[in-house]
Amino acid sequence: MSAHPTIGQLRQRVTIEAPVDAPDDIGGINRSFAPLAQVWARIETPGAQEQFAEQRLEQAKRCVVTIRWRGDVTSQMRVLFRGRVLIVRSVEDRDETRRFVTCLCEEIS
């Protein structure tokens, strides 16, 4: 995992989705997601882990998604890639140059 990818390494087309919250009838919210942008990305999968959650075994696959720098990407968003939903857990500009954004994501299956 290099902190400085080249533009040619951004080969996968992904869709960044932002949350949209709407109030429901009992005082809560209904969260849905709307497309924010389609961008080129580099996706790396450094590993996965299994965990027992809600009385069933889940596999959580970690992914590192690197895109060109955008100031509007947050940890509340998600990334769609070839039918997979990657939940963004953290967002960082690793070298503080505003060239690339690295999103640490998780896919739960």
* Mean pLDDT, the chain cut into blocks of 10 residues (109 residues total): 76 97 90 96 84 72 94 96 95 91 90
Which spans in 4-103 are helix H? none
Closest CA to 88 of 98, 100, 99, 102: 102
Closest CA to 17 of 68, 66, 64, 86: 86
Quickly count: other Cβ atoms within 10 Å of residue 40's Cβ: 15
Give the pLDDT confidence score for residue 2 in this predicted structure. Answer: 53
> What are φ and ψ of residue 62, in 5° steps?
-85, 140
Where along the chain do its domains lie? Answer: 7-108
- The pTM of this model reads 0.83
Overall CATH class of domain 7-108: mainly beta
